[in-house]
Chain A
Amino acid sequence: MSTTRRVVIEPLTRVEGHGKVTIRLDSAGEVESARLHVVEFRGFERFIQGRPYWEMPVAVQRLCGICPVSHHLAAAKAMDGIVGVDELTPTAEKVRRLMHYGQIFQSHALHFFHLSSPDLLFGFDSDPATRNVIGVAGAFPELARQGILMRKYGQEVIQATAGKKVHGTGAIPGGVNRSLTSAERVELAADIPRQKRWAAEAVAIARDYTLENLAFATEFAAFPSNHLGLVRPDGTFDLYDGVLRAVDESGEKILNDVEAGRYADVLVEEVRPWSYMKFPFLRELGPHKGWYRVGPLARLAVCERIATPEAEAARVQFDEAMGGRPGTMSLAYHWARMIETLSAIEEIEQLLDDPDIEGDDLVRKGERRPESVGVIEAPRGTLFHHYVVADDDTVMRANLIVSTTSNNEPMNRAVESVAKKFLTGTEITEGLLNHVEVAIRAYDPCLSCATHALGKMPLVIEIQDAGGRTLAEGKRNS
């Protein structure tokens, strides 16, 4: 007789998108298994087939409202290739980079202050009624306000470059459709000193949290892994463009600076029956050894330096704390994420200081090509957009590997490790279950992004109106 007990955390909260965790315990209260399931799907890769290629930067960004700029730019980079443009005008490249750094800044601030800070400030098992950004505003009003205004600044940078804070239209195949006005440039530049100071303070908060809780953090969802990210050909950190590099747990290169367009030669995604999100791995190493982390922790593991001074100093300190090796602690993601936030505001400062940002040479044209890949470092990790376009300018095939998908295996390992360590042989409380969510939140998953692929058979469902009349009946094939 089976006496397995099933514990479910659903819906996951303070993460973007739809996921749930199931934990199975045996009769002795030992955790047998724990899984993160992604429970929604969309179908973008198929339903955009037949659409004109120039729609991709605006259509596909509807995958995600938190990081729409990432999809907007990855699709636009792919479309640069389709229209035969290998190098943008200086203004176009800089406007796009400014948009991207604005996005990194707002998305990281949102994640740290709005979504994760309640766990770090109040404790994982604090009262769920105040474990949110309003609760933070009550207890730490200045900090909450700072977080809100940092996110606001990033959104304003996006608005100036994309025309709109959420789902903008600034990037087009071969360039951009706008640059900054002098007034926009002056206004954004005026707030730089304050934003830089706040970003540096946020690095200090995340650093101190990690160092003060180091013993705990090395026991909480900590495990070695491979790491993957883009770097410039000389190994410098770059969030907009570069070559693919992966390192193993000791920091040895296992993917040695592969041109991003060759991603399909080196990466594969495994399908497992219990989640709509696939499990990527490095082809050469196979599914058991080839899985890897992406995002802030991984980017600091693969890069050799950051180009801007304050973020580089913070990186050196981070690297020392990690013992000069790639990070193993899921909780160290927060610190790495704030270092990236600091680097983003330093980049924004430099771009606002550059006259090209007001230039009017916006678009280039070239010879049409049938196929192209656009890769970018989204806030949550490396993002791949790959399109094949027919002679009539409609999309024939599309393949998307979104950032969060690459962290699927690491997040599942984090969930299992926390469940086994904290839930075994004890009364399972809400606070303990929040520990599992804290481990997931460290990766800042975007489960909406990750569910672009379509799956599963349809279900029989009867849809009724408020008066009980049947409006429609669905079918199920399986």
Chain B
Amino acid sequence: MPRPRIATASLAGCFGCHMSLLDLDEGILELAELVEFDRSPIDDYKEFQGRCTVGLVEGGCANEENVATIREFRRCCDVLVSVGDCATMGGIPAMRNLVPLDECLQEAYVDGPTVHNPGGLPPGDAEIPRMLDRVYALHEVVHIDWHLPGCPPSPEAFQAALTALLSGEPAALPPGLIRYD
């Protein structure tokens, strides 16, 4: 029987959830014996290689590229999990939802004390994706099957959730593994 495939992605997050997954330490090698890693920033698959049993996505959606990625994960994964506070709620990046965009542009690219910008315009180019009006939690964009909260979720929470999901069980975690820090 082929091993179940897992894909991961980091959108508008900080990679800390991926770090917490790697904090399984030797456990990550044990996991690799049970599953096949598909598309992920920690390997060199830039596209999906096949249908995945579980997709783990950290970070919310802040630009058009994030939206395209989460939609592709929804298409290619049986079970899609939003991982961490940014994916489940927008997190710290969603603090920008409280600020008018023009002020942000002005601060970062014109007024900052070390800015050198003779043209006076913020970056804008066909090669960089366009931003969304605000930061969205993943469940606002696609259907999400499970939410794994925490900043980041602990390695034990990853372990418990993956063990359940890979054996087709609900990822119902005990209270000690659920936190919102």
Q: Which residues of A contact B (CB under 8 A)?
A: 10-11, 13-18, 20, 22, 35, 37-43, 45-48, 59, 62-66, 68, 110, 114-115, 118, 128-129, 131-134, 137, 144-145, 148-149, 151-152, 155, 164-167, 263-264, 267-276, 278, 280-281, 287, 386, 397, 399, 401, 434, 448, 453-459, 461, 463, 465-466, 471-472, 474-478
Contacts and interface: CB of A to CB of B under 8 A. Distances in A.
A397 B15 CA distance: 26
Contacts, number: 254
A63 B96 contact: no
A275 B123 contact: yes
23 contacts: A11-B46, A13-B40, A37-B125, A39-B127, A43-B95, A43-B96, A45-B112, A46-B96, A46-B107, A63-B14, A65-B17, A166-B16, A264-B114, A270-B117, A274-B128, A275-B125, A456-B122, A457-B130, A458-B132, A459-B133, A463-B140, A466-B143, A472-B140
Interface string B122-143: 1111011111111010001111
Given A39-B65, A386-B113, A459-B131, A131 B43 contact: yes
Given A42-B93, A148-B29, A271-B109, A165 B20 contact: yes
A43 B104 contact: yes
A35 B64 CA distance: 21
Given A42-B93, A456-B122, A474-B133, A149 B62 contact: no
B123 A272 contact: yes
A463 B17 contact: no
Nearest to B64: A459
Interface in B33-57: 37, 40-46
Contacts of A13: 40-46
B28 interface: yes
A270 B116 contact: yes
Contacts of B134: 474
B173 interface: no
Interface-central residue, B13, B46, B140, by most chain A CB under 10 Å: B46
Interface in B61-107: 62-67, 74, 91-93, 95-96, 98-99, 101, 103-105, 107
A466 B142 contact: yes
B12 interface: yes
Residue with the greatest number of chain B CB neighbours at <10 A, chosen from A13, A43, A59, A165: A43
Contacts of B132: 458-459, 461, 474
A453 B15 CA distance: 17
Nearest to B71: A464
Contacts of A478: 124
A1 to B, nearest CB: 20
B121 interface: yes
A182 B14 CA distance: 33
Nearest to A48: B95
B26 interface: yes
Nearest to A107: B19
B18 interface: yes
Contact of A455 (B23, B103, B105): B105
A475 B133 contact: yes
Contact of A166 (B19, B32, B108, B109): B19
A340 to B, nearest CB: 19
Q: Pick from A38, A397, A456 the residue with the most CB of B within 10 Å.
A: A456
Contact of A46 (B17, B108, B128): B108
B140 A128 contact: no
Closest 4 CB pairs of A and B: A65-B16, A459-B130, A474-B133, A466-B143
Given A271-B109, A454-B104, A474-B132, A128 B123 contact: no
A374 to B, nearest CB: 15
- Which of A64, A271, A275 lies at the interface centre, i.e. has the most chain B CB atoms within 10 A of its CB? A271
A130 B53 CA distance: 21
Given A39-B65, A137-B29, A167 B151 contact: yes
A155 B40 CA distance: 22
Contact of B108 (A43, A110, A149, A275): A43
Contacts of A110: 19, 22
Contact of B67 (A16, A47, A134, A461): A461
Given A132-B43, A455-B122, 6 more contacts: A13-B46, A40-B129, A47-B104, A165-B23, A401-B114, A455-B105
